Amino acid sequence: MNDTRYESGLAKLREIDGAAGEAVIESLQAIAPDLARYTIEFPFGEIYQRPGLDLKSRELATVSALTALGHCAPQLEVHIHGALNVGVTPEQIVEVIIQMAVYAGFPAALNGMGVAKAVFAERGLLDEGTAQ
């Protein structure tokens, strides 16, 4: 049933993205509540529920893809939070963003790192183990 996907998707969204994810959903209610529903049901109700890959690996794959695409700064911010929330370390996030310089060019990596820096600062992580 859709209800199952919606409920499990909403729980997964809260587990991974926390308040940042709920803010995305909330911001859609006035204009396109169905896009909010699809966001909950498909990515979070289906994809992030799949057993074939652990959540840390999924979040690293998302951070790398959003960095490479280059036009997804708001979603990259949400998923850097999400990666940290599920146990990815700041160092691992820094590593995949650096790696994107190879595949998408230095501008994409530099802009992705700027997003990571803002998220790390917000969470008080910049004085710790992220400098390599």
Continuous segment of H or E residues that includes residue 122: helix 106-122
Cβ proximity to a second copy, 85 vs 109, nearer residue: 109
Q: CB of residue 60 vs a second copy: minimum separation in angstroms?
A: 6
Q: Which of residues 25-64 bind a second copy (CB under 8 A)?
A: 27-35, 38-39, 42-43, 46-47, 50, 52-53, 57-58, 60-64
**Going residue by residue from 61 to 100, which x/- string records binding to a second copy, judged by CB under 8 A?**
xxxxxxxxxxxx-xx---------------xx-xxxxxxx
Cα–Cα distance for residue pair 53/65, rounded to 1 Å: 16
Other beta carbons less than 10 A from residue 87's beta carbon: 11
Q: How many residues bind a second copy (CB under 8 A)?
A: 68
The yes or no reply on residue 13 touching a second copy (CB under 8 A) is no
**Residue-wise DSSP of 27-92:** HHTTT-HHHHHHHIIIIITTGGG-TTS-HHHHHHHHHHHHHHH-S-HHHHHHHHHHHHHTT--HHH
Cβ-based nearer residue to a second copy, 11 or 65: 65
